[in-house]
Amino acid sequence: MRIERARGTRDFLPEEMKKRRIMEERMREIAERWGYEEIRTPTFELAELFTLKSGEAILEEMYEFKDKGGRHLALRPELTAPVIRMYVNELKMAPKPTKVYYFGNCFRYEEPQRARYREFWQFGAEIIGSDRPEAQAEIIALAFYCLKSLGIKAELHVGHVGLIRERLRAANVGNDEINRVMRLIDKGEREAVIDFLNEIGTKNELIDDLICLVDLKGRDALKEARERNIVGSDSDALKELEMLLEILDYYDVLYTLNLGIARGLDYYTGMVFEIYEVGGRLGAQNQICGGGSYQLAALFGGDDTPSTGFAFGFDRLAEIFLPETMHLESMKVVVIPIRTKNGDRDVMKESVKIASKLREFFPTYIDVMSRSLSAQLSYAAAIHASFAVLVGKNELKEGKVTLRNLDTGEQEKMSVEECVERIKAF
């Protein structure tokens, strides 16, 4: 019986894994150089970790279940809440800011489509202990440099949920209603925003202001918002955003101001940003990174701890990442024991030793199917190996092996050490 994969999941074949590994290593290296340390949290958590902030409705979008002990669990849909839970439980006493990064799989019960999966990976970072513009700028710049290390061109949009929230709060709109509006804005459903605000009796003037704010884009958006009197010049959100943009300039990070960014998750309190792929290779799912400032620690039993972070959709990056060259990583060497009836043991013993030596430098294969010389060579060709190291009785007598270049067919006897140098220089 043929068994299919579960809907929305994928298998990753060796070539794909190689590519993903290169990406992961590059991003890891950047994060570490910026002073972030890696952490890992469990794949499943108590479901309430995710419902506390967002309410029971979020269960619809999660893989949640009761375990045999009757505990209500959920596969993590994202990593920010787990990281802050871990911080409150384990890292409260660590020096502030606490800077961490993570790479892990997440699960969302969504309708699968191109670049949208039910199991996907996130690479992210959090600065716990600061949501000041300096921290916001560092987080955005880190994301920007990660992309740079992958050679991916993208467009960064920066906004601030405080501007919209402040405006609604001043008009006495309640928190739950504000969250609802933010979610509708995030989905780009303008008409629904207008209908909902009308429904709860919001003044037309405010609705107009809000829609105008959502539509403001580009470098002059803040000036425009001020000139049109949509935000007061004493607005904290506005001052914070201006400071952030100034520091982003210090980092040479290019951005588009977009006050319509609302983000789908409920915990953002200030700056928010999204990065989109340019080039149209991801279709509708072109958001490759999302992040912002938030407060979650107090909700999980800790002190009020402002934080700022982001997460990349790693799978979306993998779809558009083009490795310049995989030459070194994929150069394979095959050690080929040439067996004779009586010489099996010696040849095998030396071949194993030679393979161990070569493995210090290159991905090295050795026959494990007792195949003939020609079958071993066919296998070497089939896996696109670059070199074969032939080990026969004659070679052993001379203390040498035969190195064959599998592309050109040229071959030469030499010591194993010379082989290593020759292959390295290739």
Distance CA 259, CA 163 (A): 8
Q: Does 64 interact with ligand HAM (rule: CB under 6 A)?
A: no
Compare residues 116 and 167 and give the one whose CB is closer to ligand HAM. Answer: 116
Regarding 405 and contact with ligand HAM (CB under 6 A), the answer is no
Q: Which pair of tokens denotes residue 344?
A: 């099996």
Query: Which CB, 58 or 406, lies closer to ligand HAM?
Result: 58
| Site pattern 265..304 for ligand HAM (x: CB under 6 A) | x---------------------xxxxxx-x----------
Q: What is the DSSP string of 340-393?
A: -TTTHHHHHHHHHHHHHHHTTTS-EEE-SS---HHHHHHHHHHTT-SEEEEE-H
Q: Kindly state whether residue 310 participates in binding ligand HAM, applying the rule CB under 6 A.
A: yes
Q: Does 423 bind ligand HAM (CB under 6 A)?
A: no
Is 117 among the residues that bind ligand HAM (CB under 6 A)? yes
β-bridge pairing 64-66 and 72-75 = antiparallel
Phi first, then psi: what are they for 16, rounded to 5°? -65, -40
CB nearer to ligand HAM: pick between 55 and 174: 55
Q: According to CB under 6 A, which one of 53, 116, 160, 183 is a site residue for ligand HAM?
A: 116
For residues 195, 201, 205, 209, the Cα torsion angle rounded to the nearest 10 degrees is -60
- Alpha carbon 101 to its chain centroid, in Å, reads 10
Q: Which residue in 76, 316, 339, 404 binds ligand HAM (CB under 6 A)?
A: 316
Q: Contact between 97 and ligand HAM (CB under 6 A)?
A: no
104 near ligand HAM (CB under 6 A): no
DSSP state of 6: P
Residue 121 C-beta: closest distance to ligand HAM, Å: 8
Site size toward ligand HAM, by CB under 6 A:
27
CA pair distance 106, 117, nearest whole angstrom:
10
Piece of the chain touching ligand HAM by CB under 6 A; list 90-98, 121-129, 157-165, 395-403: 121-129
> Residue 87 interacts with ligand HAM (CB under 6 A)?
no
* Residue 259 near residue 213, CB atoms below 8 Å: yes
Sole window of 18-26, 122-130, 196-204, 219-227 interacting with ligand HAM (rule: CB under 6 A): 122-130
What DSSP letter does each residue of 329-352 carry, written as one string?
HH--EEEEE---TTTHHHHHHHHH
CA distances in angstroms from 145 to 244, 281, 409, listed in the order given: 17, 21, 43
Secondary structure percentages of the chain, helix, strand, coil, to 5 = 45, 20, 35
CB of 103 to ligand HAM, least distance (A): 12
Residue in 309, 338, 376, 401 binding ligand HAM, rule: CB under 6 A: 309
Q: Summarize as ranges the residues that interact with ligand HAM (CB under 6 A).
A: 78-80, 108, 110, 115-117, 120, 122, 124, 126, 264-265, 287-292, 294, 309-311, 313, 315-316
